[in-house]
Structure 1
Amino acid sequence: MPRANPLPSELSTRPFTVREALDAGVGPDRLRRGDLVAPFHGGRAPAAVRLGLDGRCRLALALAPPSAFVCGATAASVHGIPLPPRLAFRQDVELAVPAPGRAIRRAGVIGRVLRIEAPDLERVRRMSVTTPIRTWCDLGVLLHVPELVAAGDWLLRRGLATASELERAADRRLDRRGVVGIRTALPLLDGRAESPKESELRAILHLAGLPAPDVNVDVVDPHGRFVARVDLLFAAYREVLEYQGDHHRTDRAQWRRDRTREAELESLGYHVTEVTDDDLADPVAMVARLARRLGGAGWTGSPRSLDGIRRRRRR
């Protein structure tokens, strides 16, 4: 097969629409060559160029009506808002047009029609995207409450929103879908949370009716020497909860530090419970274990039903 003619320089390093290419003098046969891929109907990209999230979004927008904007889970990824794997790794681009328009219908695009106001949109890296605050409200349709709390905590910690701003946005939200989850999540937000999984854990504990733990507490010994900064602490019951990601298991040095840290805490009269992602995937069983532990330390309450929290599938 003859070598393909080089693309015009302005198209050789980025995705482009078929219309752009034709206007630049690229023939239809050239657009069918194997060194190009078609992420969307009507769009092309050099196969050697990594498309990435921004590239997919910009190409999808270039093929959409001028009023279109990135929304939902895709907007959350653009802003860096943490999402569960089922959404974070999704390749489809979520685009919306303002109501009363017609949803975009194109393979690789999840089309929406949203009631939107000008302050709800901003430009991010040359893309029209819902703001972090509006995006969080829209996630109320896609996330269960602990995941929504994790996303909200992330916004608060990074100064992208305040709790009152999120509450005002929820109040003026015209789309009532997801409003129950949003209203449940709002009073649980805490900008001190240092990881999404920690936020999920704290939200589950609250929804289950367990005592409210202190967040990211520095523990010192009787002489004032710093011992550890713990994720969650039930001070009255001397119970520490620590979320342990996989790196705590696979990094040998980290594992050794964790064991020493745990021994120091237990020498001061604390009990340490480690929580993993498997525990978060089965919150009913996790809460039952924690309730028994707290009950043995003097808590006289009982956990509430967690029927409203969907059990996540283990990966």
Structure 2
Amino acid sequence: MRQPSELPPQLHDKPFTLADARAAGLSRRRTRCRDLVSPCHGVRTAATTPSTLLDRMHALVAVTCAVVSHATAALLWGFPLPASVANVDVVHLTSRPGNRAVRRKNVVGHQQSFEPEEIVAGSRVHCTSPLRTWFDLASMLSLDDLVIAGDFLLRRRNPLSTLDELDAYLQGRKGKPGYQKAARARILMRSGTDSPKETELRLLLLRHGLPEPAVNVPMFDETGRWIQDPDLSYEVERVAIQYDGGHHATPAQRRSDIFRDENARDAGWRVVVLTQWDLTPLGPGMEPTAVTRVRAALVERGWMPDRGPARRRRSARTTASI
């Protein structure tokens, strides 16, 4: 069987449109050869090229000139998303006004306008900026999931934005669809988190009437020596909360965690260690054990539910005056 002719260099190792193929001198027959596959209508790529989500996006953007957005852009940026939304088989594309929303298999098409700073040009695709991506998620996520995504935006290490940038951006989005939910989420968002579970736990405690804990505030002993940055903490009551995910199960990490928590207890802190089991109620209408255990630790340290906020304000003023 006759081997297909070599592809021109500009078409190697990337998706190309049929218009690109014609411009490069390829015949219609050549674009139908078995060494090429069609990741989407109107696009070809080498059959040996690995197929990934980014490859599919590249192919779709090449033929539609749309911008990767919503949940698909969130996946590119690494936002934590619920399983119901994080579907890699579906690509969200947004067309600018004047272009019809994309209508293709396994594509959700949108049509919206963009400011120049809301689009980030990558080497293979254009996608919405972190701030615009988070704002667009308001139409897809619950309030809690939007707060979790927002805290990721403001995370402690390698944040994608700052509070000032977020507030300025929201100011410019007033009146737009999704603004009301985004504004409610902004009230609940906190910067400096390390994991989505920190946010999930913080929101759970607030929802059950407990005072809001601080996030990753450094803990020191009486000599000023740093001990740890607990995931969440109540400095007045000296209660520290650690959420231990799956990676804490390794022997080395367990030894490190024991040493971490013993140092905190020696410094006079009450340490509450929680896992995913503590966040999920055992049955309908039952209180999550995370709430029960944290409440018990606070009460043990003198917190009174009926007078908690006032007591905490008085303690904060007393501490500030020392």
In structure 1, the partner of 2:298 is 294
Matched letter for residue 197 of structure 1 = K
In structure 1, the partner of 2:106 is 108
Matched letter for residue 142 of structure 2 = H
TM-score in terms of structure 1 length = 0.79
In structure 1, the partner of 2:37 is 37
In structure 2, the partner of 1:210 is 210
TM-score in terms of structure 2 length = 0.78
SS at match of 1:19: helix
Contact 2:68–2:94 (8 Å) recurs in 1: yes
In structure 2, the partner of 1:305 is none
For the structure 1 residues 156 and 60, does the alpha-carbon distance in structure 2 shift closer, same or farther, using more than 3 Å as the test?
A: same
For the structure 1 residues 77 and 226, does the alpha-carbon distance in structure 2 shift closer, same or farther, using more than 3 Å as the test?
A: same
Superposition deviation, residue 284 in structure 1: 5.5
| More moved, 212-221 vs 76-85 | 76-85
Contact 2:154–2:193 (8 Å) recurs in 1: no
CA distance in 1, matches of 2:74, 2:263: 40
Matched letter for residue 137 of structure 1 = F
CA distance in 2, matches of 1:206, 1:34: 59
For the structure 1 residues 47 and 296, does the alpha-carbon distance in structure 2 shift closer, same or farther, using more than 3 Å as the test?
A: farther
For the structure 1 residues 30 and 272, does the alpha-carbon distance in structure 2 shift closer, same or farther, using more than 3 Å as the test?
A: farther
In structure 2, the partner of 1:76 is 74
Superposition deviation, residue 189 in structure 1: 2.6
Runs of at least 5 residues in structure 2 that lack an aligned partner in the other structure? 307-322
Superposition deviation, residue 257 in structure 1: 1.1
Contact 1:53–1:78 (8 Å) recurs in 2: no
Q: How many corresponding residue pairs?
A: 299
For the structure 1 residues 206 and 255, does the alpha-carbon distance in structure 2 shift closer, same or farther, using more than 3 Å as the test?
A: same
For the structure 1 residues 220 and 167, does the alpha-carbon distance in structure 2 shift closer, same or farther, using more than 3 Å as the test?
A: closer
| More moved, 211-220 vs 111-120 | 111-120
Superposition deviation, residue 40 in structure 1: 1.6
Contact 2:214–2:232 (8 Å) recurs in 1: yes
In structure 2, the partner of 1:167 is 167
CA distance in 1, matches of 2:85, 2:248: 25
2:131 pairs with one of 118, 127, 133: 133
SS at match of 1:236: coil
In structure 2, the partner of 1:308 is none
For the structure 1 residues 10 and 277, does the alpha-carbon distance in structure 2 shift closer, same or farther, using more than 3 Å as the test?
A: farther
What pairs with 1:190-209 in structure 2 (closer than 5 Å)?
A: 190-209=190-209
Superposition deviation, residue 206 in structure 1: 3.2
Matched letter for residue 81 of structure 2 = L
For the structure 1 residues 28 and 288, does the alpha-carbon distance in structure 2 shift closer, same or farther, using more than 3 Å as the test?
A: farther
CA distance in 2, matches of 1:44, 1:31: 7
For the structure 1 residues 191 and 245, does the alpha-carbon distance in structure 2 shift closer, same or farther, using more than 3 Å as the test?
A: same
Tell me: higher relative CO, structure 1 or 2? Use CA pairs within 8 A at least 6 residues apart: 1
Instruction: State, as a whole percentage, how many aligned pairs show the same letter.
Output: 36
For the structure 1 residues 244 and 32, does the alpha-carbon distance in structure 2 shift closer, same or farther, using more than 3 Å as the test?
A: farther
| More moved, 156-165 vs 233-242 | 156-165
Matched letter for residue 187 of structure 2 = P
Matched letter for residue 191 of structure 2 = G
CA distance in 2, matches of 1:25, 1:275: 63
CA distance in 1, matches of 2:279, 2:201: 7
SS at match of 1:241: strand
CA distance in 1, matches of 2:218, 2:34: 58
Runs of at least 5 residues in structure 1 that lack an aligned partner in the other structure? 303-315
| More moved, 78-87 vs 193-202 | 78-87
Superposition deviation, residue 296 in structure 1: 4.2
CA distance in 1, matches of 2:131, 2:59: 24
| More moved, 77-86 vs 255-264 | 77-86
